Structure 1
């Protein structure tokens, strides 16, 4: 079960996905995964997908983006700017 903070994050992600152009859905999902990776560090890929109501196949993408976030931050990405 999602915490209140996680539920708010899922709501924000869903809004961003809803507003994304159809051909940019996956790119927007990746961006949102990177944006909230630190806040969702204790969430499993399965819980993430369930929280958003998306296919479980996106779970591997969530894991990849979370791992990629560390490298991007080390290279200077300011996640707060996303």
Structure 2
């Protein structure tokens, strides 16, 4: 799956998230696609999804967390 498709999927998920669930959905999407987005910077992620650059820190955290979750048995394909 290419980055543009992933960015589109994330944007759609965020736009459809209930207002009080935006941050939860954002984190979930970051974890879901972390492996596909290993080679991009946090800034590139934010620009691709249309988020403020300040969310780049969250992207970096979720990408790191994904490795721990996968080591504990999480299958990101199920998200």
1:16-67 Cα deviation digits (max 9, x unpaired): 0011000000100000000000000001000000001110010000000000
User: Unpaired runs of 5+ in structure 2?
Assistant: none
Aligned length: 79
Alignment of 1:14 onto 2:8: no
Please point out which of 45, 48, 59 is paired with 1:48.
45
TM-score (norm 1): 0.94
RMSD: 0.9
* More helix as a share of residues: 2
Alpha-carbon offset, residue 13 of structure 1? 0.3
2:73 corresponds in structure 1 to: 76
Q: Structure 1: where are the runs of 5+ without partners?
A: none
- After superposing on structure 2, the runs of 4+ consecutive aligned residues of structure 1 that deviate more than 4 Å are none
